[in-house]
Amino acid sequence: METIQTFPAEAGRRGLTAFGARLSILHILIIVLSLAMTIAAWQFSEQQIKNRSLQRFELAVERTIGLLEDRMENYEDALWAGVALLAVKEGDISGPEWRAYENSLALPQKYPGINGIGVIYFLAPEEVPAFIEKQRAENPNFTIFPAHENPEIMPITFIEPRAPNAKAVGLDVAHEANRRLAALSSRDTGKARITGPIVLVQDEGSTAGFLFYAPFYAAESTTLAERRENGIGVVYAPFVVRKLMEGLLEKTQRQLRFNITDAGQAIYDEFSDTDDSLDPNPMYEGTYSISIYGRVWTLDVRTNLHFRDQNTYAQPYFILAGGLVIEVLVILLIVLLARANRRAISYAAEVSADLRHKKDKLARINEELEQFAYVTSHDLKTPIRGIGGLTEMIQEDLEEYFASPKANPDVQTNLNRIMNRVDRMNELTRGVMEFSRIGRSAKHADPFSLPDFVDTLLSDFSLSKNQILLISDIEEITFDPMNFRRVVENLVSNAVKYHEDLSKLFVTITVHRKGDMCSVSVKDNGPGIDPRFHERIFDMFQSLKSGEGQDGTGIGLAIVKKSVELHGGTVRITSDIGAGAEFCFDWPLTAQAPFHMEHQAA
């Protein structure tokens, strides 16, 4: 009887031990996996923070370069306005008239960083005596200096405000290579140009500077020979680079420091040991080259201590510390409760919920970025509209001048150029707003008829009834019709935009059922697309030249790609130079009765 009683007790203990061993292995695996997830979450969080800080650095660099380029464009506009004034005066202007023009510009308020604005005339040696005599009628002390052996004579005749720039009056910029070559380049190209590094005679600090030129002519000049023959002079602005940057960027509020070199010569340097925000070991740094009015400036950009303060987070360490605490608690639970399977499952569920939360958070961030793009594009429309309105007012005010035989066509050309840029900005903002709205339309909106849609396309693009052919076995689009319409409209718009002779344009739209999807093809007989660019054309702001020589916004095909991919499909292109282009994609389709049609607008 003892043997019978002892055996089951020992067997029970052996079974319990085996059961406990199995539990220990399972729990150890759980601990290892949980620790791995903690480390992964820590590393992921740390990498995300690094990625965000890198993006902030790149955005800050882009913003700094953009501010510099925008400011230089503002200065260029002031120079071209002076050129327009000289065109009205047929190149001959007096000191008081130029002073009145400078006062109207309000340089210190509207153009911070600029030293002044002036006029330089191009003279032949035999014209110098009469020119000096004429200038001395207003300025008895006027003289041209220094003497040199170059054949060109280019004296600074007027410069306002006069007081801080008095030393520059009469200076012959042809005496020095950087000044002379940039002036001649501006005359020969008809474009604004800046000089290489120079020291302004009026700069007592003898720091790096440059001159900014815009040419004016005695008559319309389109060829190099005509520009050289008709070149009267240049409107110019002197700059001390240090003052330019002080007017451009508030140093105490920036998270970047940079220096600028031109042809290897430093013209601006912020890497000073006296700068309290200097970071001896910057988080990010880079070298960027920008082409600016005939010169190439190289920017060496580095983050400072302000950037480090704003981009150093303890979140990854909190995640790691929190994860380790959780591991300790899990071990304690395993020790105290050998059968804590339900707790382990609960823990796994919590981790899954955390991952879902992070996924939802990333989705919200993406939605906020799209909303930001939409709002920014919408807000840009007001100043763009203001620029266009102001330009139209200027054109109306100058109608009598344009009708006169003495009118300089460059004035009208420059105003038309402004209006063209306004139109392009309007197209870009509309494109960005449309791109940000993709996916927001109701997928179950009212369906539309494909034949009616083709008739609408013909009307919208002013095409004749035989220029679009529809071949389809589907009568209506019912799934997300708004985005389907947007995709096809953009493809047809591209065909219209890039066709060299719109009267010969022919587009075939083919729609065929393919299970729960429909296969769509939009084919044109246009100039075709080089296979090298088949992938690039779907990127944002990537555009090929049209037959008129004008760029598109580079957003249309990006909208097509994003819309199609949101519905689980891909866009495919078949095209070559001179062979037209065919774009194909699949689109979700609800069940419909079989239907085949070949439709051409009636």
pLDDT of the residue at 113: 82
Residue type, 45: S
215-228: b or e for each residue (b if 16 or more CB lie within 10 Å)? bbbeeebeeeeebe
**Number of other CB atoms surrounding residue 522 within 10 Å:** 23
Residues ≥6 apart with Cβ < 8 Å to 312: none
Q: Contact, 244 vs 122, CB < 8 A?
A: no
Distance CA 521, CA 126 (A): 72
Q: What is the pLDDT of residues 165-199, one digit of tens each?
A: 999 999 999 999 999 999 999 999 999 999 999 99
Task: Note the pLDDT of residue 12.
Answer: 45
Low-confidence ranges of the chain (pLDDT < 70): 1-24, 27, 247, 250-253, 273, 314-317, 319, 323, 330-331, 333-344, 360, 362-382, 384-386, 388, 420-445, 539-554, 556, 590-602
Radius of gyration of the chain measured on its C-alpha atoms: 35
CB 548 within 8 A of CB 496: no
The amino acid present at 307, given as its one-letter code, is F
What are 377's two structure tokens?
């594009």
User: Closest Cα partner for 282 from 253, 309, 316, 247?
Assistant: 309
**Phi, psi torsion values for 306, nearest 5 degrees:** -60, -40
Predicted pLDDT of residue 341: 65
pLDDT of 37: 83
For 241-328, strand residue ranges (E) read 256-262, 265-269, 285-292, 295-303
Question: Nearest CA to 292 among 193, 198, 213?
Answer: 193
Which pair of tokens denotes residue 307?
Answer: 């950037």
Contact status, residue 201 vs residue 192, Cβ threshold 8 Å? no
Type and span of the H or E element at 236: strand 231-240
